[in-house]
Chain A
Amino acid sequence: MNGRALAGRLLPVWAVLVALLLGMVPVGLAGVNPAAAYEEILRGALADVYGFATTLVKTTPLLFAGLGIAVALRAGLVNIGAEGQIYMGGLAAAVVGLSVHGLPSVVHVPLALLAAGAAGGVWALVPALLKVGRGVSEVITTLLMNYVAIYLVSFLAGGPLMEPGAPYPYSRPLDAAAQLPVIIPATDAHAGILLALALAGFLHLIFGYTAVGFRVRMAGANPAAAAYAGVRVHATLVAAMVASGALAGLGGASEVMGLKHRLFDAFSPGYGYDAIIVAFLGAGQPLAVVATAFFFGALRSGADTMQRSLGVPVAIVFAIQGLTVLFLAASLALQGRLLRWARGWPQVAATLPAAVATGVTDPERR
């Protein structure tokens, strides 16, 4: 890899650094030493076991949905509907967790996850079919499907599924066998993160090392050339979109089964939207998405600590998040490469390890 390509791939890091730098201004205006505020965020997110657990909890849904959006991006599709897919996944998991009893956990948990994946997948299938069949932009349809899902869950959590006598719209707790185990004792950190990490590794292998991943990338990068090479482009796009929705749906299931243990009205505070940023900053690369999801998870978790100890509002973190995206998008747009970036780096995952293995090095570096 030559210097310029490397600098290009490190663009998100620069964007984050500049955003953090600019974020110091409002912190300073709030009358707090910015260095102290950032130190507090870092301490809160990572320094102790509770902060770290909170970071993991906040990372999990971002990672699931971020991976989902990344899969769509590799196929050249923009899935704005992760939020709705999270809700549908959470709902399906809750229904399985509430209505089925007496199963052992090793059956009940996979069953609920399967239902969640299916529900999220179906929620993405509708826009996918509209896209390949009628040419309707998936950006619009996925976005609109979000509202249907959010209000459907709101209705069910406050109506048919609501726990009798509950003060707020939420359901009864899920069957204990349908709940995900806690992985750090005495914290909220649950096994959802393990599943998400496993899926990230799996997707990394799919896109870097398999014919299926190659086919999806072809369909995304140049549908006409892919069709000539024998790829069934429409079927591939639909499959990628369904996989994208299923991954986001698993994110919703993990929230319900791992953290809340009930179906709450409005249980996702916009993870599906933040995940767009996560996937985008990660350039659609599964392992890079792990890093960006963790970064934003940590920022969230640390911001809570900062607010408690210094009185700086959490909103500052959202400003930093927004600035990061703004800088990345601006620098890419200036180079006219915005969409290509989002579809993933051309070859790094697919061929770089092979290059190392077979001793190919870039002549420019030699």
Chain B
Amino acid sequence: MEGITKRFGPVLANDRVTLAVRRGTVHALLGENGAGKTTLMNILFGLHAPDEGRVLLRGRPVEIRSTREAIRRRIGMIHQQFTLVPPLTVAENIVLGLPPRRGVFLDLRRVEREIESLSRAYGLDVDPRLPVWALPVGMQQRVEILKALYRRADLLILDEPTSVLTPAESEALFAIIRRLVAEGHSVVFISHKLEEVMRISDTITVLRHGRVVDTVRTADTTPAELARMMVGRDVVLRLFKGPPRAGGPALEVDDLHAVGDRGLPALRGVTFTVARGEILGIAGVDGNGQAELAEVIAGLRRPTAGRIRIDGRDVATPAGRRAVADRLAYIPADRGRFGVILDFTIAENLALKAFHRPPFSRGPVLDRSRIIDHARALAERFDIRMNSVLQPVRQLSGGNQQKVVLAREMSGEPVLIVAVQPSRGLDVGASEYVLRTILEQRDRGAGVLYISMELDEVLGLSDRVAVLYGGEIMGIVRPGDARLEDISLMMAGSLRTAQTAAPAQ
């Protein structure tokens, strides 16, 4: 692929990306979520047309306008979401969409035999007669691989294949990938997990914000170098920041454990403290427990063990949680899901957390004129650009939606602010505004837990930085004191510092 550029509206998903996959190798595409990995592969698989650039297969330029054409050119893609029909058998799923073999009849018997021998040849161990619903996720993935092989694919694209697998299933998948490559197939392996990529790939291309950072041979690189490439050094943040005046603890987290959405451990014994008046940044590669940490502290996910104290109060019980609700501000990564209700008006969204209390309610009755006055005041203070506070939030730009979240969460003079990538998807001006607001809150005396995948943002904004890897804290350092190399090593899980920087007094 040469000079591939793809835009979605104003978003540049791929920017002059060049990628060469050698026959018989595993080529990893590494990058954070939204770096443009899947988009690039969707172009190769005929799901998107590139705006610029060209695709060459076996040295010859081709135009792949549809998946059908991609398959004909012997490309196979296994998506994160499987495209199987659960009530049908493995064999039926595999021949689905292919022309019948004998006149108008499916010769399923023969297909089953063919699949069995194919399955044996690659060590896939799939019974073609079983219905797909009865198979575990790892097996369903193998059916997808078989489907591509049955269509004679020799370039296989695996989009984050391990994200749905248990560790044991991942091991089995790696064995299959090695077998595929040994048989002369080529594999593109999309991932944001460093250790996986180090283990399975021959070549690694790192994508960041839609651009190729570098392509390296796996043997010549280290996880730390990859981590640094992924999180980059290209955001220059100019924020005036005075020294912190740390006070008493705003947040104390002690030996916290939690599981992720798929029931696997996401946090394993996390301990730290955020003082009032300081910003503790959480650095790390995406998917190392950041989302779970934020959700547990915000009360949206139940911890499996450990203690959380906010402003000195244990929040394990619903009563404890309610007691601190007003002093906790949460700025979620996914504002459309957690931060605002898109179909509600700006006024309603600004009253979301306190609608049932005075001044917004008198007894059971909402005081709508108070709600509207409050919204107008906040909209002015936080400079929310809108036509009217009675507009649905959906009609606002991303930056202004985020201002609605900020306005609501900051107006209560919180003791603790949990912010997860609050500047994501915003333009430079809006990002700066968001970060400036957070700094102001720190200077007012709020403790801030700042979680971001952008290392520069974390280093630039935070007073102390904790590095999260595999659900554990690898060390807590002061951005000025720590060497970038060490932070990279911690992000890659290969360094753990014993000392913990204490909050500045």
Residues of A within 8 A of B (CB): 209-212, 214-215, 217-218, 221-222, 224-230, 340, 343, 346-347, 350-355, 357-358, 360, 362-364
Contacts and interface: CB of A to CB of B under 8 A. Distances in A.
Contact of A228 (B300, B347, B372, B388): B300
Contact of A358 (B341, B342, B369): B369
A135 B369 CA distance: 38
Nearest to A227: B300
B372 A351 contact: yes
B366 interface: yes
A358 B389 CA distance: 12
Contact of A215 (B330, B339, B356): B356
A360 B392 contact: no
B299 interface: yes
A331 to B, nearest CB: 19
A212 B372 contact: no
Given A225-B341, A340-B343, A354-B368, 13 more contacts: A210-B364, A212-B364, A215-B356, A228-B332, A343-B343, A346-B343, A347-B392, A350-B345, A351-B345, A354-B372, A355-B390, A357-B369, A360-B388
B361 interface: yes
Residue picked from A210, A211, A352, A362, most chain B C-beta under 10 Å: A211
**Interface secondary structure of A, over-half rule:** helix
A211 B330 CA distance: 22
A363 B325 CA distance: 36
B188 interface: no
A364 B300 CA distance: 39
B23 interface: no
Nearest to A354: B368
List 9 A-B pairs, minimum CB-CB distance, nearest first.
Answer: A354-B368, A211-B356, A222-B341, A347-B345, A346-B343, A346-B392, A229-B352, A363-B387, A211-B361
A210 B365 contact: yes
Which interface residue of B337, B344, B372 has the most chain A CB atoms within 10 A? B344
A205 to B, nearest CB: 9
Contacts of B433: none
Interface string B356-390: 10000100111011011100000000000001111
Given A228-B330, A228-B338, A346 B344 contact: yes
Contact of A364 (B322, B341, B387): B387
A363 B390 CA distance: 11
A308 B343 CA distance: 48
Given A350-B348, A351-B372, A362-B388, A211 B343 contact: no
B241 interface: no
11 contacts: A211-B355, A218-B344, A222-B337, A222-B342, A225-B337, A225-B341, A229-B352, A354-B372, A355-B390, A360-B389, A362-B387
Contacts of B356: 211, 214-215
B325 A230 contact: yes
Contact of B368 (A209, A224, A340): A209
B466 interface: no
A351 B387 contact: no
A353 B300 CA distance: 35
Q: State which size class the interface on B falls in.
A: 35 or more
Interface string B296-315: 00111000000000000000
* Residue with the highest number of chain A CB atoms closer than 10 Å, among B332, B343, B372, B392: B343
Nearest to B318: A232
Nearest to B408: A229
Given A218-B341, A227-B300, A363-B387, A351 B368 contact: yes
Contact of B372 (A211, A214, A217, A358): A358
B340 interface: yes
A105 B368 CA distance: 40
Interface of B: 298-300, 322, 325, 330, 332, 337-345, 347-348, 352-353, 355-356, 361, 364-366, 368-369, 371-373, 387-390, 392
B345 A211 contact: no
A211 B299 contact: no
Nearest to B351: A214
Contacts of A340: 343
Contacts of A225: 337-341, 352
A5 to B, nearest CB: 10
A124 B147 CA distance: 44
A146 B340 CA distance: 37
A108 to B, nearest CB: 30
A262 to B, nearest CB: 40
Contact of B343 (A214, A221, A227, A358): A221
Contacts of B388: 355, 360, 362-363
Contacts of A352: 390
A284 to B, nearest CB: 12
Nearest to A363: B387
A201 to B, nearest CB: 15
B342 A228 contact: no
Nearest to B369: A358
B355 to A, nearest CB: 5
Contacts of B325: 230
Contacts of A358: 369, 372-373
Given A211-B356, A228-B298, A346 B337 contact: no
A353 to B, nearest CB: 8
Nearest to B361: A211
B355 A214 contact: yes
Contacts of A364: 387
Contacts of A363: 387-388
Contacts of A350: 345, 348, 366, 368
A215 B348 CA distance: 11
Contact of B337 (A217, A224, A357): A224
A70 B352 CA distance: 23
A182 B364 CA distance: 35
Contact of B347 (A210, A215, A351): A351
Given A209-B366, A360-B388, A363-B388, A351 B298 contact: no
B330 A221 contact: no
A217 B338 CA distance: 15
B318 to A, nearest CB: 9
Contacts of A362: 387-388, 390
Nearest to A357: B369
Nearest to A361: B388
B347 A209 contact: no
B422 to A, nearest CB: 15
Given A230-B325, A362-B387, A214 B365 contact: no
B365 A347 contact: no
A3 to B, nearest CB: 14
A360 B341 contact: no
A314 to B, nearest CB: 39
Nearest to B326: A230
Contacts of A218: 341, 344, 352
B343 A228 contact: no
Nearest to B345: A347
A346 to B, nearest CB: 5
Contacts of B343: 221-222, 340, 343, 346
A228 B322 CA distance: 11
A364 B366 CA distance: 27
A358 B374 CA distance: 13
A302 B369 CA distance: 44
Nearest to B332: A228
